[in-house]
Structure 1
């Protein structure tokens, strides 16, 4: 009885224990599943599908590959909001990050006269001390402030070329900011005048190497024009401006509109400047131009507020009087009109009373005709010598005391006007000053009109017939690529670049030739050239190809060291593939060993291509006289020698080969 009771009680407790274990097991599974589902839900809601969630007891394990470290941390944070953070086990990996992109190397060069500030990031391989030394040697630079940082990344290919160009540009820009990055230069500067601005823009653009993109922002103050001048003519050749000064673009538009109403066609070169004598300048000048058009032919000249209107002899007097009267009433009060209707002059048998000044293309000046007295003669001769040079003036005028009093002033004005020409003549007469010639300055007519209107005064008539010749314009006188190549050919017609035997080292006697070539190429502008290296056929083909490339590279380097802008030059080695003579003779081999300059195809036009077809080539050759390309004589391998001996001039595989090649070379030389 008692045994049965114990057995029953033991069984009851055992069953209860088993039931507790079972309940606890399934409860733990439910908690695990619930926790894992909750974490998975939160991750899916944040679009973190890359993360896997695994329940391991009370622990939640996160696995998978996170796109970034930040997302991995975010996944851990989300899991910690669902279950206790201590239960979250991080088994995730992070996608390998790409290599950090190299920084953008750049320099800001800020120059204010003698002080130069450098700000930016440069490659660690840049010779910083050498860069500062070069900048310190620029004319006018007294202090260089170095605020540059460095980064140890590969130097961009165009970085050295860009820095060289920026330093060269800084030489001519005392007040400027130059921003440079590899292959990109932006220049912000101020010029002293509009003319200086044009010169700087032309120079900087021409010097820019091909791989460098250039952006210019050069400003210049408006010129002060004194006197403020405008001269408009209508004659048998049509209507034209000899001078045109305006204070605003709106004034220019109004003046041109008035001129077109009188038959003017084309574009007028109006100078936008300071010094306008009245805010009504556009109103007065346009009214006078329209009045001249109603008269028919003649000229109207403004010198500040003084107006001279001269009608042609064939004009109608009644129309002239009516138009002049209307113009006087229409002009603003500050302007004074002097109108002239010329009377027909009877011819005089005494010959013309005139003074002539002639300027030859060579710069020689002849002064002939009549002068009033000794004082006037000395003044005219001294003034001419101060303008053109004492040794270039020939004075042959005779004195005539019957000349009018203003004659001397008219002569001096004519000489001053002549100095604005490259060649031409000025004829001073009682009724007129006539200026004719050729110039390379597009503003010469306006300058001459300003000189004569100021010096002669109101009521005086003058005529200007000046032609612009682009060849005389220093800004437009650069040779064409074909002309540049012809100049190089002339230098090399009877001289050759020599190299040390079996090497790419230029001999001392060839440096003079390279100096001459550099002098020509410096003034050629942005011409594109290929420097081709050629050898004879002796030796192995691969060796000759390498040697020709090395020599072409050497010539390119030599030109660059002479400050030639070589951004559009390429150096190419052709080896023995393009002979121009028979390689079976020493003379032929000598001719085939050469450096050849050729215009790159993209820089030639159709005319150049036609010329190349007619002449056979458009290149210049510089044979490597005395340097050779064979091992035995001057550097190339001996075709009769073994490969090992033939290679010894440039490369040797072991000591015996080198000795054998050297011996072969000595024997041949002897």
Structure 2
């Protein structure tokens, strides 16, 4: 009995345990299935298709290969919304990333004279040393190359080598430039010497670039210094043209061209924008003068700085001439002086044949002189001048003497020979009425230069210019030398003054235009060794005059720096009253001594000399050693008068 009771009790417990195991297993299955279904539903809602879910009791396993780390994090977060995050076991993998994208390789090359900086990122396999050697040879000094390049371990992109080749070509041609290089593209920003240089560089770089290399050029040229500032407009037989045209601003050029078109000029005539204008009213003065020529029905008007010469066409009615020129004289701004001429009609009863002198220059350089001269001395002078200009072996002379020629004949002949020297080949014909210039030239500005030359030499005389620019004859021009830059400063200043407020170093408002033009030129000249000198008269205490001159020189330097001129190679020096160029006992002399000079920094002579005076006022000439020293100094000195009032307050 006892054994049977024990067996029954043991069986009962065993059965109960079995029932519990079955119940627990069934409950766990339900929990697992619910967890899996809930997480999968959440994955579907979140758009997560790559992940799979499994469960083991209370633990939920998420596995699969995520496209990236962000996707993996989204899947684990989504599972944690359904079950306790502590129960979520992350068994996911992240796909290996595709090949890393190569960086954008680029170089910026900055050149300023003999200094070059290389900045940017290049491929590791790129021959960096070769680029540095090439730029070093271009500037003539390998130590002048600053290597600021970094590298990345990627292959060279397509078009990289071609772009580097074009970039080094640009660097070679442009001493002051910024060249930006990327695979398949080159961008160049630079300042060229003149418009002709811009055209040449553009043509060469476009020829060097392959079809696969994109080339972007931003080349600018400084405004040329025009001295004298000249313009000549002619209207004859209903046709109008410019022999020379210059303007100081874009607005002035537009108004001049508009006036010329109103007067009958066809197309869009060229007109050079330059420095050295005698008045800011230049555009208005020229436009009104062109309108006057048109109102007369023909003739010419010539500007040489502020001098205006208007010559009416032969046969113009005197009443119309007086009316038009009188109105023009009233309309011209105060700075301009008008000289109007009504030519006398020729004498129909005269039996004299044509009176003329001709000079021709062949493409081979042979020069022939033919026609009339007014004396044996004039013939010797013309012969000597031609041989000096063109070479003794190149000149042949076949002239005769005519005592009845006008007194100005010799001057006209010499002006004609000088005009011929501007041409590569051509001819000059001189008559009592006009000078005709015909031929070919490699100078794109030859028309303007010839008009300026003849106007300067002959004043109101009539002349006719018809020359053709041929690019193959155009010589290679470069950035001005330091000496040329100082000469051009002299031309810019001309008869104007750099003025200061009395007794101070504060620049007068009238000095702004001069400094604007000087700054524009100096940006082209670069870092030349330039000294800006301040000078005063002898009034006041010597030590105060010296300090005032120093402050004024420094003020000019500061103003140039504010105009973004590179002034590291410049210095400002005040000389006070130590170096007068005129007598301090007169007001005119004291005014001349109050000045700013621009000189090249070079080995100083033992005794300094008088600086070149820019206003053209003549003072008693020095003699002996003083004259010799003054001649040496005048070659590199620029004097800009400041006006009265240097005494300290």
For this structure pair, what is the TM-score category when the shorter chain's length is used for normalisation? 0.5 to 0.7
Indicate conservation of the 8 Å contact 1:159/1:182, yes or no: yes
1:235 aligned partner:
236
Residue-by-residue CA offset, 1:201-224 (whole Å, 9 max, x unaligned)? 122222323432221111111112
Cα distance, 1:167 vs structure 2: 2.1
1:145 aligned partner:
146
Residue-by-residue CA offset, 1:74-97 (whole Å, 9 max, x unaligned)? 423443565455543333343443
* 1:5-16 superposed matches below 5 A: none
User: Are 2:70 and 1:70 equivalent residues in the alignment?
Assistant: yes
1:131 aligned partner:
131
Cα distance, 1:246 vs structure 2: 1.9
Measured in 2, the distance between the counterparts of 1:115 and 1:139 equals 7
Residue-by-residue CA offset, 1:138-163 (whole Å, 9 max, x unaligned)? 24445222223334433345433332
* 1:511-550 superposed matches below 5 A: none
User: Are 2:429 and 1:427 equivalent residues in the alignment?
Assistant: yes
Measured in 2, the distance between the counterparts of 1:216 and 1:187 equals 5
User: Are 2:258 and 1:251 equivalent residues in the alignment?
Assistant: no
User: Are 2:365 and 1:358 equivalent residues in the alignment?
Assistant: no
* 1:15-30 superposed matches below 5 A: 17=17, 20-30=20-30
Q: 1:141 to 1:383 in 2, by over 3 A?
A: farther
Alignment partner of 1:274: what SS? coil
Residue-by-residue CA offset, 1:85-143 (whole Å, 9 max, x unaligned)? 55433333434432223344333222111111222333333333333223222244452
Indicate conservation of the 8 Å contact 1:66/1:93, yes or no: yes
RMSD: 3.2
Q: 1:302 to 1:63 in 2, by over 3 A?
A: same
Q: 1:9 to 1:412 in 2, by over 3 A?
A: farther
Indicate conservation of the 8 Å contact 2:115/2:139, yes or no: no
Measured in 1, the distance between the counterparts of 2:57 and 2:159 equals 62
Residue-by-residue CA offset, 1:255-300 (whole Å, 9 max, x unaligned)? 2222222222222011122222222222221211121112112111
User: Are 2:451 and 1:449 equivalent residues in the alignment?
Assistant: yes
* 1:60-99 superposed matches below 5 A: 60-80=60-80, 83=83, 85=85, 87-99=87-99
User: Are 2:309 and 1:289 equivalent residues in the alignment?
Assistant: no
Measured in 2, the distance between the counterparts of 1:81 and 1:377 equals 113
Alignment partner of 1:223: what SS? coil
1:644 aligned partner:
none
Residue-by-residue CA offset, 1:285-326 (whole Å, 9 max, x unaligned)? 121112111211211112222211111112222211111112
Q: 1:52 to 1:354 in 2, by over 3 A?
A: same
Alignment partner of 1:225: what SS? coil
1:213 aligned partner:
214
Indicate conservation of the 8 Å contact 1:189/1:217, yes or no: yes
The aligned length equals 474
Alignment partner of 1:318: what SS? helix
Alignment partner of 2:245: what SS? strand
Residue-by-residue CA offset, 1:163-210 (whole Å, 9 max, x unaligned)? 233223321111112222333222111112222222211222223234
Residue-by-residue CA offset, 1:532-584 (whole Å, 9 max, x unaligned)? xxxxxxxxxxxxxxxxxxxxxxxxxxxxxxxxxxxxxxxxxxxxxxxxxxxxx
Measured in 1, the distance between the counterparts of 2:436 and 2:394 equals 22
TM-score w.r.t. the length of structure 2 is: 0.65
Residue-by-residue CA offset, 1:425-447 (whole Å, 9 max, x unaligned)? 11223332221223454433222
Q: 1:389 to 1:98 in 2, by over 3 A?
A: farther
2:440 aligned partner:
438
Q: 1:430 to 1:182 in 2, by over 3 A?
A: same
* 1:205-604 superposed matches below 5 A: 205-236=206-237, 238-346=239-347, 351-371=353-373, 380-381=382-383, 383-397=385-399, 404=406, 406-457=408-459, 459-468=460-469
Indicate conservation of the 8 Å contact 2:169/2:205, yes or no: no
